Structure 1
Amino acid sequence: MKIVIIGSGLAGLSAGYRLCRANEVLIFEKDPDIGGMSASYSIAHSEKKYFIEKYYHHIFRSDSELLALIKELGLEKQMLWLEGKNAYFVDGKNYPMNTPVEILHFSPLSILDLAKLGLLVLRIRLIKDTTPYDRVKAKDWILDTAGKSVYENFFAPLMKSKFGDNAENVSAAWLIGRVKIRSDRGKEGEKLGYMRGGFNSLIEALAGEITANGGEIRTNREVTEIMIKDNAVEGVIVNGDFVACDAVISTAEPVVLDSITGGKLGALHDTLRNIHYQGTACALIGLDSRLMGDGNYWLNIKADVPFGAVIEHTNFLPFEDYGENLVYVTSYFQNRKSPLWTQKEEDVIDSYLKGLERMFPEFSRKDVLWTKLYRRIDTAPVYEQGYLEKVLPFAAGPSGLYLAGMFSSSNYPERSMNGSVKAGFESAELLMKEKGTKS
């Protein structure tokens, strides 16, 4: 069976990996590099050559499908579990947020507010099913559960940095999922997983398995139409050429899927148009010295700067792996009119560096060795109140058309690398079941 997969992110590659041994797999990627949101830069300087993700990633211990895949590919020895120190920058000061004792010293909240925050986290840990919270706004649930001060001084800045003007519409289900995945920590703080050498090893291993089994991955190839006749897939149009196939797995974002199917997905048409995606402008900066000398890996921010988080990768991974200090500075944006999307790359970088200068008085641009900017308009869905009704099925309706990606059930209420791997596997398994093919 000939199967076309649209997109070479983790979902597309995972699906291709499951299908390639018994089928003819052809993956089309519109970008020059494979990997999607998990793609990497190849950095070379006088001392080192290494890969580093364009967008920061790590693994949680609960990421069972991803960890099993890493083991299956023979990459388990590259796995590291390291302490990732977190802090919250408020009113010009860093507050460590790793242990209960540190959190008790978060002075923007009173002792009573801290107690309310602790009870909220405890309550979240006890929640098994987030479905009842899908139609509740996160803001309203926090206000009802922990009060105005906890919302305004703790959660609101975090939600604003992540969802912009849509922050007040985000569902409580997303918030609960987010807190649950980030609250699995011991007395010493949170341990996060990372692959030594970077996640490029995972991307290349998946691609290698696909091609070794006769599959093809073609970059700079954009699918502009999925040909559907008599409610069944016939093939795709790629760079103006028709490619016949028996099935398609699309990982394209919903609005693109609606466009390339010509609005032929019936009841799904309105849903595809009503799933709102947001973009990301993520800068990676090579520095001659550390930015956060206190060892923080992840810094959330409440400040007048054009970004919502600073992630110092080499405060997590050993400096020796890279030979230079690596810092991500990132922000989400909500539409194509945002300056983070419309401005020239050098202007976005300049605004980020000005923000770092305001936050870190000891930071100097003389320490900047190089900068890179990764921008995407289609990073992930905004998980608004009632989003559960918009979650796309793995089977799209027409015979032979399957879906997998950030929009899948495995990535709600909180998206992750694991969720994308799981989505790819589930779409492949459904295809095999319905088409009577083998893995």
Structure 2
Amino acid sequence: MGMKIIIIGSGVAGLTAGYRLCKSNEIIIFEKDAEIGGMAASYCQECAGKRYFIEKYYHHIFRSDSELLDLIRELGLEDQMLWLKGKNAYFVEGKSYPMNTPIEILRFDPLSFTDLVKLGMLVLRIKLIRDTTSYDNIKAKDWILETAGKSVYENFFAPLLKSKFGDNAENVSAAWLIGRVKIRSDRGKDGEKLGYLRGGFNSLIEALAREITAQGGKILQNKAVEEIVIKDNAVQGVVSDGEFIPCDAVISTVEPRVLDILTKGKLGALHETLRSIHYQGTACALIGLKKRLMEDGNYWLNIKADVPFGAVIEHTNFMPFEDYGEHLLYVTSYFQNENDTLWVKKEEEVLDTYLKGLERMFPDFERTDINWAKIFRRMDTAPVYEQGYLQKVLPFAPGPSGLYLAGMFSSTNYPERSMNGSVKAGLEAANFFMKKDKKCEVCWLD
């Protein structure tokens, strides 16, 4: 049966690559965590006799996510797709401002009418940009200041950048900002519609896993790879739990710095690039509540306030409450290194600081409203697209024969990362393998 391919990581990119290759190859996926799915992994909960899955980290689908939507159709999940209005607001100085329609945006008091016109012109300008390459070497901060002025930057963009990138906020490129605005620009007169799978993205992850295992593939959980063995510039196999497992090819989806460790620095010119790509972490609280927190129906709340998180996402102000039997809330923040208190502190301490922040923002919120609460943390959430990042985008085939790369670091996730970008990365890595495999077959036949 074809080639033996080892995939490191069972996130969306790894599972998509495995799915695409499993019908004609032997697939083995190594996952260091207990659950599959990576950043799309889910938490199983029960409320009032109803068992459901909810993502550990919030997700939704955009209309432009064509590869992801094609994959959903291919897996027979199209009937679970819903397109719903996700109401957005901006919390500033104790007040929540709806930001869904042009009329609502015009009522955003922190910006003057002149500032709002400048903001509108900036968004219009972004929509007309086709190629972001020239913006990669420009800082988002500098571009906003030059294009829309100091007030628009300080009162609108700076808090958003700070909540998303922390101490790295001023280093992020204008290319990322343009990509971000473009992906969120599918708005009608009533606001933005977002997609979600009824039953959660666990349905997608499990469907991919079923297809792989049905073809004889294996998914090994709680199983980390310690080394990718490369000899004479060709992959020989991997080492896990001290055991060498030979294979014909490896598709790695791990963070670049981890890849550098696994390959023992044998990727030549890429060695320094792998070490220079900076990833940030996420500390995301998922809370089950007895009653709704945001009575105004907001799904997504961006925040400019003295609280230890940058956004509050009320999932059941988007998806039907009846699907869960309780209200579900995400409270989230990003951190930039392993010394950050959000990573160092115990989970219960992080949760307590988040709850204190909610109490300051929402006077009617009480801890007795909580059914349960969990903190989920990862150090390898996604790369930070700093100024000049385009030069660091990793190739799908980095050099050694039999080694392929796919993940958040791939060109398909630039300049704005997304689940669709990871699906595309998995497909591209599989395509690179199949092209090279086809060439080998031709050589052998000759």
Q: TM-score, normalised by structure 1?
A: 0.99
Q: Which residue of 2 aligns with 1:13?
A: 15
Q: How do 1:162-241 residues align onto structure 2 when only pairs under 5 Å count?
A: 162-241=164-243
**1:80 equivalent in structure 2:** 82
Structure 1 residue identity aligned to 2:348: E
Deviation at 1:40, TM superposition (A): 0.1
Query: How do 1:150-165 and structure 2 match up within 5 A?
Result: 150-165=152-167
Q: Which letter maps to 1:387?
A: Y
* Distance in 2 (alpha carbons) for counterparts of 1:228 and 1:198: 39
Pick from 44, 47, 54 the counterpart of residue 46 of structure 2. 44
Q: Which amino acid aligns with 2:106?
A: L
Hey, what's the Cα distance between the residues in 2 that align with 1:219 and 1:373? Answer: 21
* One-letter code aligned to 1:389: Q
Q: What SS does the aligned partner of 1:429 have?
A: helix
* Residues 90, 303 of structure 2: 8 Å contact kept: yes
Task: Output the amino acid matched with 1:207.
Answer: A
SS at match of 1:413: coil
Matches within 5 A, 1:183-332: 183-332=185-334
What is the rounded CA distance, in whole Å, between the counterparts of 1:409 and 1:261 in structure 2?
21
- Alignment match, 2:444: none
Instruction: Please give the alpha-carbon distance, in whole angstroms, between the structure 2 residues aligned to 1:154 and 1:239.
Output: 49
Give the AA of the match of 2:349: D
Matched, 1:354 2:356: yes
2:406: which partner in 1?
404
**Matches of 2:350 and 2:136, distance apart in 1:** 35
Give the Å deviation of 1:184: 1.3
Distance in 2 of aligned mates of 1:9 and 1:100: 37
Q: C-alpha offsets along residues 365-384 of structure 1, whole Å, 9 cap, x if unaligned?
A: 01011001110001000000
Deviation at 1:76, TM superposition (A): 0.2
Q: 2:30 aligns with which of 20, 28, 31?
A: 28
Distance in 2 between residues matched to 1:183 and 1:109, nearest whole Å: 20
1:342 maps onto 2:336 in alignment: no
Partner of 1:118: 120
Counterpart in 1 of 2:384? Answer: 382
Asked if the contact 2:396/2:410 (under 8 Å) is kept, the reply is: yes
Distance 1:46 1:282 in 2: 24
CA distance in 2, matches of 1:160, 1:151: 11
Q: Aligned with 1:234: secondary structure?
A: strand
- Show CA shifts across 1:319-350 (max 9, x none): 00000000000000000111100001000000
- How many equivalent residue pairs? 438
Matches of 1:129 and 1:159 in 2, distance apart? 22
How far off is 1:2 after superposition?
0.1
Distance 1:350 1:400 in 2: 47
5+ residue gaps, structure 2, are 442-446
Moved over 6 A (4+): none
CA displacement at 1:280 relative to structure 2:
0.1
Mapped to 1, the partners of 2:109 and 2:245 lie a distance apart of 61
Shift, 1:45, TM fit: 2.8
Q: For residue 424 of structure 1, what is the aligned residue in structure 2?
A: 426
Residue 415 (structure 1) aligns with? 417
Deviations 1:148-179 (A, max 9, x none): 00000000000000000100000000000000
Residue 5 of structure 2 aligns with which residue?
Answer: 3
State the 1:44 CA deviation. Answer: 1.4
| Contact 2:47–2:324 under 8 Å retained in 1 | no
Task: Tell me how far 1:245 sits from its aligned partner.
Answer: 0.1
Residue equivalent to 1:139: 141
What amino acid is the match of 2:40? S
2: distance between equivalents of 1:262 and 1:79? Answer: 43
Taking the aligned partners of 1:427 and 1:268, their CA distance within structure 2 comes to 18
C-alpha distance in 2, partners of 1:103/1:35? 37
1:366 aligns with 2:377: no
d(CA) in 1 for partners of 2:85, 2:378: 29
SS of corresponding position for 2:259:
helix
SS at match of 1:88: strand
Q: By how many angstroms is 1:46 displaced?
A: 2.9
Residue type matched to 1:65 in 2? Answer: E
Q: CA deviation at 1:240?
A: 1.2
**Residue 297 of structure 1: how far off its partner (Å):** 0.1
Q: Percent identity?
A: 77
Query: Does the 8 Å CA contact 2:48/2:325 hold for their aligned counterparts?
Result: no
Shift of 1:47: 2.7
- In structure 1, list runs of 5 or more residues that go unmatched: none
TM-score with structure 2 setting the length: 0.98
Shift, 1:239, TM fit: 1.4
Which amino acid in 1 is paired with 2:54? I
Partners of 1:80 and 1:411 in 2: how far apart? 24
CA distance in 2 between counterparts of 1:371 and 1:405 reads 30
